[in-house]
Amino acid sequence: MENIVTHKVKKELSEIRLDQFLKNNISELSRTRIKKLIINGFLKLNSKIIIDPSYIVKENDICTLRIPEPTDAKPLGEKIKLEIIYEDNDLIVVNKQKGLVVHPAPGNPNKTLVNALINHCGISLSGIGGEKRPGIIHRLDKETSGLLVVAKNDKSHGGLAEQFKNHGRDGKLTRAYKAIVWGIPTFSSGIISTFIGRSDKNRKKMAVFSDEKYKSKKAVTHWKVLKKNNENNLALIECNLETGRTHQIRVHLDHISHPILGDPLYGYGYKTRINKLKSSVKILVEKQGNSQALHAYKLGFEHPSTGEKLIFETDPPENMKSIIESF
């Protein structure tokens, strides 16, 4: 059912953006959702439709927002196996398996995590972005396994999105990955700070730039060595992200000449490297195939409704785990 809310601007709440004023007064909606509603003509200011979210509200302005009933999702629910780590009325944490795309897109219109979540959650999903679909806060590449949190409603979507936007700088968010890399780093830890943008040579790849150009963005990765396999010249690395760019860990580890084992895009000299491995490890690495040995093993955040600090950890997939145990 459609909902209509009206708020009069008080003096102490005036002189701020329209979307921010509404966000302050409608806690169950995310600011992104509010902006979209304004742009689409669902907001009347003093009885006239206004489509500018940046309008500065004045004292005694009357804002009337029409919140339409959520529509059915465009993606359909599909029965796909999910490893659910935690679930409540506001959010769900899953351990995504390798080979599963997170969101429908050209080339992957179905059989995605979103399709699986729509099937699993059913009517418990509310109107994220105006549709009955999961609120995807962050993504993992198709061949990257690990922990993902998904919002079930606008309020939790807004709260989680804000934490991911800050990338842990406020102490609320924790994200850590494990990666098996070719070669053993000279140092035990380090920080990689560059700009990342779309490669000019291969549009499927991202590339490192020394400064902000070609629409590149600042990217910072903190890394440390957890284990070494000197015999096979492999290392287990932990990475923590200060930013969240596309392919960030894969690009950055390749940038310091330690590409992720099995990475089909950024791993180079694969056949030469694999032929130097000892037989027992070589078999496991060959099983890894064109699938990067990268796992999002730790995820922590502040619950958007209760404020409770939640933290989760999972083991890597069996084959990656076996390679690590061979060290």
Q: Which residues are catalytic?
A: 141
Rg of the chain on CA atoms, in Å = 23
Q: H helices within 26-94, ranges in order?
A: 31-39
**Structure-block tokens of residue 288:** 């890894």
Question: CB burial class (10 A; 0-12, 13-18, 19+) of residue 262?
Answer: buried
Dist. CA 221–CA 165, nearest whole Å: 15
* Residue 194: CB atoms within 10 Å: 21
Residue reference for tokens 């499927």: 204
Element spanning 228, H or E: strand 217-229
Within 8 A by CB and 6+ apart from 285, the residues are: 261, 262, 274, 277, 323
Across the strands, what pairs with 64? 6, 44
